[in-house]
Amino acid sequence: MTETITGEVIHVVGPDEHDEAQMLDDLAALAESRYVIVCREGGKPGLFERVWAFLKRDPIQPVTIVADEDAAEGDELTATVHETELPGVYDAIDVR
């Protein structure tokens, strides 16, 4: 099933950094020579949204996207993805 995810990039693991990152074997196999992008789902929150989330004790909802394209930390991206067998991990079809 295809879906669209919008999120703020929190962390990126490049293909040459896979050995140093402590990834699950299944994720490492899926990523192989691709980028692993961890995002805060919903995009970059504003000040009011951050305060409201803190007061509600609503944690950040991270999602992991495996993509062919690189992304920079702090950027907001929109990706068309397929869900994988790993919970919270998506395979990117298109990243904008």
The per-residue pLDDT for range 17-28, each reduced to its tens digit, is 998 998 999 999
Averaged pLDDT, 39-64: 89
The answer, yes or no, to whether residue 46 has pLDDT greater than 90, is: no
CATH of the domain at 38: 2.40.50
Q: What gap in Å lies between CA 35 and CA 1, rounded to an integer?
A: 21
Give this prediction's pTM. Answer: 0.89
The one-letter code for the residue type at 31 is: A
**Alpha carbons 23 and 29: distance in angstroms, whole number:** 10
Average pLDDT, the chain: 93
Q: Give mean pLDDT, residues 42-55.
A: 88
pLDDT band of residue 35 (cuts 50, 70, 90) is very high
Amino acid 59: pLDDT? 81
Domain extent at residue 11: 2-95
- Distance CA(86)–CA(76), nearest Å, equals 23
Specify the number of domains making up the chain. Answer: 1
